[in-house]
Amino acid sequence: MRTKSTLSYFAFSLLALAVVAFFSPYARSQQATADASEDRDRGLQLYQKGDTEGAIEALRAATSKNKDDGNAWHYLGLAWLAKGDKDEARKAFERATTIRISNLITISPLPLANTPQTNMVGVKARDGYRAALESTERYLAVTQNPTEDWRIKLEALRFYRDYYAGSRGDVTIVTTKEASTRLRILSKPPPDFSGTSASGKSVLRAVFSADGIVKHVLVLKRVSPDFDLACIEAARRIKFTPAIKDGHAVSMILQLEYNRYFL
**Strand 200-208 to strand 239-241: parallel, antiparallel, or no bridges (unpaired)?**
unpaired
Asked if residue 154 has pLDDT above 70, the reply is yes
Average pLDDT, the chain: 88
Confidence category of residue 115, pLDDT binned at 50, 70, 90: very low
Whole-number percent of the chain with pLDDT over 90? 73
CA-based Rg of the chain, rounded to a whole angstrom? 24
The CA–CA distances, whole Å, from 68 to 36, 87, 194 equal: 10, 20, 32
Look at residues 193, 197, 215 and name the one whose alpha carbon lies nearest to residue 206: 215
Asked if residue 205 has pLDDT above 60, the reply is yes
Per-residue DSSP letter, 110: P
pLDDT of 110 reads: 75
pTM of the model: 0.83
- Mean pLDDT throughout 44-56? 97
pLDDT of 35 reads: 79
pLDDT of 123 reads: 81
Task: Could you please state the CATH topology (level 3) that the domain comprising 184-260 is classified under.
Answer: TolA/TonB C-terminal domain (3.30.2420)
Per the CB < 8 A criterion, the answer to whether 235 and 256 are in contact is yes
**Strand 239-241 to strand 243-245: parallel, antiparallel, or no bridges (unpaired)?**
unpaired
**For domain 32-164, is the CATH number 1.10.1740.10?**
no
Alpha carbon of residue 42 to chain centroid: 24
- Percentages (nearest 5) of helix, strand, coil residues in the chain: 55, 15, 25
The residue ranking higher by pLDDT, 37 or 110, is: 37
Domain ranges of the chain: 32-164, 184-260
pLDDT of 150 reads: 95
Calpha distance 37→25 (Å, rounded): 18
